[in-house]
Chains A and B, each alone.
Chain A
Amino acid sequence: MAPSSSPIATVAAASDPQGRDSLGAALADRPLPGFRLTLDAPLQLDSGGSLAPVTVAYQTYGTLNAARSNAVLVCHALTGDQFVAEASPITGKPGWWEGMVGPGLPIDTNRFFVICVNVLGGCIGTTGPRDVDPRTGKPYGLSFPVITVGDMVRSQRALIDHLGIDQLFCVIGGSMGGMQVLQWAAMYPDRVFCAVPIAAAVRHSAQNIAFHEVGRQAIMADPEWCGGDYLAQGRQPSRGLSVARMTAHITYLSEQALHRKFGRNLQDRERLTFGFDADFQVESYLRYQGRTFVDRFDANSYLYITRAMDYFDLARDFGSVSAAFKGTRTRFCVVSFTSDWLFPTRESRAIVQALNAVAANVSFVELVSDKGHDAFLLDEPEFLAVMRGFIDGCAEHRGLARA
């Protein structure tokens, strides 16, 4: 590929010389670890339609006890996957919550049976827009129905039914994972003993919808997107998806974290070039984030999942947030981080107030961190200590033996 003069054009160039389907190639490389379940019945969707067939891809760690009472459902965020505690088969990078889930860790796999499901609309094994529509024999693309967080949770419930689990001991997740936690607790209160929504909200804010819209527009503005039909046409909207990721990535960090990490430091150079190359380390870093993202994520999945988050609004679905949790016996632990400006503490406080209004059993901690929204993915010692305490306390109430 010829050296590019446009700064945007350089973003995805390195990994994507022919515009090939790099995620498809990675997925075809080797079988995906974990399990798949194809649901018996069509999945009823919030949009009014239904979807069939639906396959959910999931991974498990630990052993389900005889009473089937020690299951922990971990819900992943927007671009996460089911590989919580093992290297991603696609990138080879460590599992996204290896500091939280594992033997002896707060979500102790010696003690709990941990389940993580790739979300509906995703691209790591669960049915999504890159799958083939059996009616046409071609990838769904934009003919895939618009799905919601409620639809994601409904598909997960079908899996939990299939596994013969009446009540999950714990449902836990951050960001969009936290939305799923709240949705689970609202829709199926008797099936969730304790719930941990982290860095989440009862609805997606206008600012967050705005950022998502920028990301979607970046994808759709890429001519390689082909109106969503890029897979059938052997193309890939890498540039658009990269820019979407770059924008989103900024929102996951904090001004302080960016400053600490990069400041105004220059990238492999002594002085400014007076051009549009990546002079600054922060630019180089973001370009790298965008470039590597296209190898592990599908552009249409990004459109659908961001849309599901935008549509998330418990008050609209249940009349009010408190009504969503009326009579709940689930024990909640709501967690926020001081420097998270994407899902700031006041959003978590709104969850807590709604839960207090129905006299729910709720704990709420705001943890001090300068690492922004992504803090929940990092090994923050106090966060891990609080999670361990809450989970152990709930396990005691549930009568689960220590490991």
Chain B
Amino acid sequence: MSETPLVEFKDLVVRFKGDRTVHAINGLNLNLKPGEMLGLLGESGSGKSVTLKTLLRLLPPKRTDLEGSVKVLGTDVMSLSGRALAKYRGGDVSMVFQEPALALDPVYTIGDQIAEAVMRHKGISKLAAMDVALDMLTRVRIPSPERRLKNYPHEMSGGMRQRAMIALALACRPKLLLADEPTTALDATVQIQILLLLRELQKEFGMGVIFVTHDIGVAVEVSDRIAVMYAGNIVETGKTRDVIKNPRHPYTRGLLAANLHGAVKGSRLDAIPGSPPPLEEAPSNCSFAPRCSLARPECWKALPPRIDIGNGHEAACVLAAEAAVTA
């Protein structure tokens, strides 16, 4: 690939120190092309949110050990500090959170909050920034945007607040948007509206998006590519279609079965037994082996290899190379 990747994680390791050590991310490698929408899929504790927070340097530095490198458009994120970091956060990369009611400031109007970000990053007057805010509210399809500019977050419904949050995140035209479960707190009929909105805006602005979710259906709905995380690493990645139609890692297959899409009523579900491992020690073998029905002796001996299945589809499993793994 000649193109500079938008995001490049290389052997990222994140450890939290304290009363007990948590190995949150264990040697993660991931690339994102400009304008690509990546769905980062995983269960709680798999390291999805930590990955996003590393990208924005939001982890507490005193309690966190970081190894490896994170680059955004060739710039080493770890080396940023002071003004460069402030410019990077919100300017080049911004984030949408799960709970907009908590992420927005309750004592400022929506218009003021958007305008503040634009004034900081673009250095324009309040008046001009308010015009940008109005334009953004229109783009996220908030009805009667002039009136909504003067609203406080509590005066809006959940779906409306999430739209306002997206408007705020995109106001400075970031090249990369990080979305951390942005629709999990919303009702089903509102969730689909926000997903479709994000998909449209991503095309319109041509930005890269990392969309973190635990819901496989949501990931399929929005992403070009999917990366499945388990115990602090990516176990499978590939084009959405390839991962969904031809999953190679046993964990991905288990997740698809657990989604119950098309499950026969009353039939026994093919559930993955047990629960995710505690991350107190760095893994020295396949983290999924204790729950895997196909585990072999070599799975317990060493970390699984990353096997390239072609077309950018990779799985970290010794069995992935075999074409006819029983589904």
Task: Say whether A associates with B.
Answer: no
